[in-house]
Amino acid sequence: MVDARMNPEAPPAPEHTAIYRKDYQAPDWWVRHVALEFDLCAASTMVRSTLSVEKNGEHDRPLRLAGDDLRPLEVMVDGGEARWALDGSDLIIELDGNAAKVTTSVEIHPDRNSQLMGLYASGGLLCTQCESEGFRRITFHPDRPDILSTYEVMMRADKARFPILLANGNKVEEGELDEGRHFARWEDPFPKPSYLFALVAGDLAANADSFTTMNGRLIDLNIWVREKDLPRTGHAMQALKDSMRWDEEVYGREYDLDLFNIVAVDDFNFGAMENKGLNVFNSRFILADQDSATDDDYDAIAGVVAHEYFHNWSGNRVTCRDWFQLSLKEGFTVFRDQCFSQDMSSEAVKRIEDVRVLRAVQFPEDNGPLAHSVRPDSYIEITNFYTATVYNKGAELIRMMRTILGPDTFRAATDLYFDRHDGEAATCEDFVRCMEEAGGVDLTQFRLWYSQAGTPKVRVSLTHEGSTAKLTLQQEVPDTPGQSDKQPMVIPLKTALISAQSGAPLAERLVLLTEADQVELFEGIEEAPLLSINRDFSAPIIIESAREDSELEALAAFDDNAFARFEALQELMLRQLIRAVEDGTSPKADGVIAAVRNTLADERLEAALKAEAINVPSEAMIGERLELIDPDAVHRARAELAAAIGGALMDELKAAQADGAPGDDLSVAGKGKRKLRGVALGLIAASDPQAGAQLAKAHYDAADNMTDRQAALKVLSGLDAPERDAAFDAFYERYCGDSLTLDKWFALQAAAQRADTLEIVARLTAHPDFTMKNPNRLRALIGNFGANQWIFHDGSGRGYDLLARMVIEADRLNPQVAARLVPPLGRWRRYEPGRAAKMKAALETILAAEGLSKDVFEQVSKSLSLA
Ligand code: B3K
Ligand code: ZN
């Protein structure tokens, strides 16, 4: 909320008020059952709803139903007249007695719904998105997650246009109507909150399959897409079946309905949605074939399919009491999907990828003006809180609890949680209590992870005397907006001491750091050991260690923990890069080159791990470690280190680049080879752009799969060579009819490390294939541009102006998606005063725009520290 005392000039925005967790109150009225009737048409849909409501406790307060952009055409109570009034957009109904049936009718316009919340039209389909507060754009309803109801849904529509009619649960009836219309009636027997409601109508074809559950029940599975996309649904279907089996085996969770439907739509605000029995997906996370999807796309599809499926228990059967508890379902479900993917592929590589996302997105969030705790205390627009903190840091909290409890006890604790809270709307506190009870542990201090924002920093040093090694640890939790003077956290650190001579582990321990200052002694250590700490990234923190470069080189060569080995080489590179930026010198490359050479030559390491370890940290990652970011200096240092590695190891890298895998080989080894050859190509081109351009073009031309094609284009995107334009033109020609794949063409150009990228992006905003109406396209171009540190932070400030313009325009169509473009501007405190002033000016331009949504208002005012 804007505090006028802090900012006397802030425009009054009384409608943009904050909601506080401490104000939670149980609902005055329950809704036990919802009966909906839809007469569906893109231009005008009639919605009639009958809510069976029941008073909660003794009071004489009326029923308050939320509406968003709705006008009541009819309001009835128990089939007769009603006493009602509008209070803003809410409908207030006076009720006598303890129970009633409340009927309302509204007319909505799916084809005018550019927010993609509620019922909207996408490519000839009608579909819904209700989480968090979209149901109130369909019908009047309390629309809060602690009200669970059974649903029945009657859908009527023109049969030619909408031959397939889907909703949650089971189809119980269907038939013909007059004038070419038909109907379907669906019932969902599992009580659910309104945010899990869904329907879809359209001309769809199914990839139909089935799954037999652990108790022998046969479940029908369908993935619904446009007919032409059917051949691209096989991978998603396999991922669904794998997920169903995995949840049975690992968590004992069986699917409950007899039918599980997935629908892919092209216009979608985020990845996918876990509506009960009817998941709706961004088509990007369903459709894949060798020609159009990269290995990363394949992995992301499996991860998202699993994530949404796992929500059936962690989210749907046990849901959230209020939106402050969002991490209860999201953190836990991300953790579950991460483990699933680890089990399905390479444990270490998947962990590295997840930690990379955490560091690239969540750490900056935790360290900026939008920092918030995993269980936030307030929000203006809840949609802004579907963040890396709630999702990814939330997942780390669950992972830490599992580490502390051990896997078997953790499983007993999740059993307790699911059994105790099945059919309920629960809180993060409920989850932690189950961990405590089943684990017989006291997690009082651990709960701080839910309430304290900011990434803890832990300083570590190791000394050795006689046969004792002494590990000294100091933790500090930084101040964040609205939070200072924080308490020490519980930080589980998987630690090992390693022989500097033989590489053998001398001691291994889970150190539980609970104090601000703590000492751990290791006895019986006869030699000065190497310190391997936060192995597997057991805690989401920043380690500051006084280890010498030579120690990191040794760990990079033989730490037996694959993650720690990767980490040592990355840390070694980062140190050289930071020194180079700070001192204005060239990075010292010798130690790094030796470590990269070792890594490439080590036959015990899987190819994907090599690729992760030798990849020079991104410019954003380097910037994150600097007090004040100089984007040009960071760019130069990174390019120099990459060039030095490429030059020194040209033969080894050429060999890796030449070692491909057939496009249909989707094994861990095949994917790893492709990943490594892409990284190798980048390093070669960094050292010799001309030879790199030729090799990249050959890499592109010979590719029989999108991973190789995209890797080549990525390298070419940064070069000033004729091969670049030729390859981009060829890509456009080949994929211009395939919207999903064309997103890559936009994304690669926006992410390009090339001085004229700013002009190219500006030009692309006027390209006939660019549209702000499609969130994938907007993110491909503008999202990637905002993440391109060197280009976006062009000293002229033109990058900031371009983003501000895009945010203002996008906000008129789709506030949720527009708000997500704002964070790069919010990082102005990290840049030198000239850039910082320009970034603030861009934020102020956005704030001054007429009719700003509360989504964008919240992000911008917080970025300027006004809220
Ligand atoms: N639960 C949805 C996210 C909804 C976002 C609403 N703004 C997808 C997911 O996390 O599984
Ligand atoms: Zn989720």
Give the pLDDT confidence of 367-419 residue by residue, as tens digits: 999 999 999 999 999 999 999 999 999 999 999 999 999 999 999 999 999 99
- From 274, 286, 814, 854, mutation site for ligand 1 pocket: most ligand atoms within 8 A of C-beta: 274
Report how far apart, in Å, the C-alpha atoms of 677 and of each of 163, 426, 542, 549, 700 are. 47, 47, 30, 27, 12
Average pLDDT across the chain, whole number: 97
Pocket-forming residues, ligand 1, beta carbon under 6 Å: 131-132, 270, 272-274, 307-308, 311, 330, 383, 386
Closest ligand, as measured to the CA of 193 = 1
Q: Please give the Cα distance from 475 to 454 (Å, whole number).
A: 12
Q: In what order do the strands lie in the sheet with 118-122?
A: 118-122, 125-129, 199-202, 164-167
| Exposed/middle/buried for residue 824 (C-beta within 10 Å: 0-12, 13-18, 19+) | buried
pLDDT range class, residue 564, cuts 50, 70, 90: very high
Q: pLDDT value at position 867?
A: 73
| Mutation pick for ligand 1 pocket among 273, 301, 816, 820 (CB with most ligand atoms within 8 Å) | 273
Band (pLDDT 50/70/90 cuts) for residue 546 is confident
**pLDDT one-digit tens code per residue, 170-198:** 999 999 999 999 999 999 999 999 999 99
**C-alpha closest to that of 578 among 534, 617, 542, 533:** 617
Our mutation pick for probing the ligand 1 site, out of 286, 312, 329, 386, counting the most ligand atoms within 8 A of Cβ, is 386
Residue whose CA lies nearest to ligand 1 atom number 2 = 273
**Closest protein CA for atom 7 of ligand 1:** 383
Position 759 scores a pLDDT of 98
Q: How remote is the CA of residue 307 from the centroid of ligand 2, in Å?
A: 6
Closest protein CA for atom 9 of ligand 1: 273
Give distance in angstroms: CA of 331 to centre of ligand 2: 8
Give the residue whose CA is nearest to atom 3 of ligand 1: 273
Q: How far does residue 69's CA lie from ligand 2's centre (Å)? A: 27
Out of 195, 330, 338, 383, mutate this one to test ligand 1's pocket (max ligand atoms within 8 Å of CB): namely 330
Q: How far apart are CA 400 and CA 402, in angstroms?
A: 5
Is the model's pLDDT at 2 over the cut of 70? no
CA 290–ligand 1 middle distance (angstroms) = 28
> SS3 of 305, please?
helix
Residue 843's CB is within 10 A of a number of other CB atoms, namely 25
8 A C-beta contact, residue 804 and residue 842: yes
- Tokens read off for 736: 């211009």
**What pLDDT does residue 672 have?**
98
**pLDDT > 90: what percent of the chain?**
97
Separation CA 446–CA 397 (nearest Å): 9
Cα distance between residue 72 and residue 844, in whole Å: 38
Ligand 1 nearest-atom number relative to CA 270: 5
Residue 200, beta-bridge partner list: 127, 166
User: Tens digit of pLDDT for each residue in 223-246?
Assistant: 999 999 999 999 999 999 999 999
Residues ≥6 apart with Cβ < 8 Å to 11: 847, 848
Ligand 1 atom nearest to CA at 274: 11
- The answer to whether 308 is a known catalytic residue is yes
Give the pLDDT confidence of 144-160 residue by residue, as tens digits.
Answer: 999 999 999 999 999 99
Ligand 2 centroid to Cα of residue 52, in Å, is 29
Q: Which of 37, 152, 308, 640 is catalytic?
A: 308
pLDDT of 3: 33
Per-residue pLDDT at 7: 39
The per-residue pLDDT for range 328-361, each reduced to its tens digit, is: 999 999 999 999 999 999 999 999 999 999 999 9
Sequence length of the chain is: 867
Distance 342 CA to ligand 2 centre (A): 18
What pLDDT, on a 0 to 100 scale, did the predictor assign at position 14?
A: 52
Q: If you take atom 1 of ligand 1, which residue's CA is the nearest one?
A: 273
Nearest CA to ligand 1 atom 6: 131
In the predicted structure, residue 95 carries a pLDDT above the cut 80: yes
Q: Are 199 and 214 in contact (CB under 8 A)?
A: no
Q: How many CB atoms lie within 10 A of CB 60?
A: 9
Query: In the chain, what are the domains?
Result: 19-203 (2.60.40.1730), 318-451 (1.10.390.10), 456-538 (2.60.40.1840), 547-687 (1.25.50.10), 736-867 (1.25.50.10)
Alpha carbon of 391 to ligand 2 centroid (Å): 8
pLDDT above 50: residue 9: no
What dihedral do alpha carbons 803, 808, 814, 820 form, nearest 10°?
40
Q: Is the pTM above the cut of 0.95?
A: yes
184 three-state secondary structure: strand
Q: How far apart are CA 195 and CA 193, in angstroms?
A: 6
